[in-house]
Amino acid sequence: MGESGDFGHVHWLVSTFRTAAEEAFEFLGDHEYAVTYEHDVRNPPSRVAVRFEGDLATVVESELTMASDGGLTLRTFVRAHHNDHLLDPSAAHDNRGLSGALEEHARQVRDILGLF
């Protein structure tokens, strides 16, 4: 893929990840968590993060990184009840893999936060 193709792919990935993360963690929005986004696509590894904030002590941040070789890794961090939880990283090879990894992380976040 040429440089301009890589740039387009990264920006497509940012948009795709934001949408997929909002869908997977929709229950946080239902509990009035504020959502913010940040990304850095200038240099590898490219990263995009979606952050959900409840009260001052409750934060969920899900981050997707893309290595130079195109490999995708999803990481999710949870701060709740004054404890930090870093969920196991998940490889995401395509849209279906990304959606599945986000759904699994969302399930774990529900358990940690006690939201059903």
Higher pLDDT, 45 or 6: 45
Average pLDDT, the chain: 88
In this prediction, residue 1 carries a pLDDT of: 41
- Structural contact between residues 94 and 100, judged by C-beta atoms closer than 8 angstroms: no
25-42 per-position pLDDT tens digit: 999 999 999 999 998 888
**Alpha-helical runs (H) found in the chain:** 3-24, 26-30, 95-113
Q: What is the pTM of this model?
A: 0.87
List the chain domain ranges. 3-113
Quick check: helix, strand or coil at residue 70?
coil
In this prediction, residue 2 carries a pLDDT of: 43
β partners of residue 53: 34, 59
Do the bridges between strand 83-86 and strand 59-66 make them parallel or antiparallel, or are there none, so unpaired? unpaired
Angle (CA) 64 75 20, round 5°: 50
Q: How many CA atoms lie within 13 A of 56 on its CB side?
A: 0
Rounded mean pLDDT, 40-63: 90
57-94 per-position pLDDT tens digit: 899 999 999 888 878 899 999 999 889 999 999 998 77
- Confidence band of 5 (pLDDT split at 50, 70, 90): low
Q: What is the DSSP code (8-state) at residue 7?
A: H
**Answer CATH for 3-113 from 3.40.50, 2.60.120, 2.40.50, 3.30.310:** 3.30.310
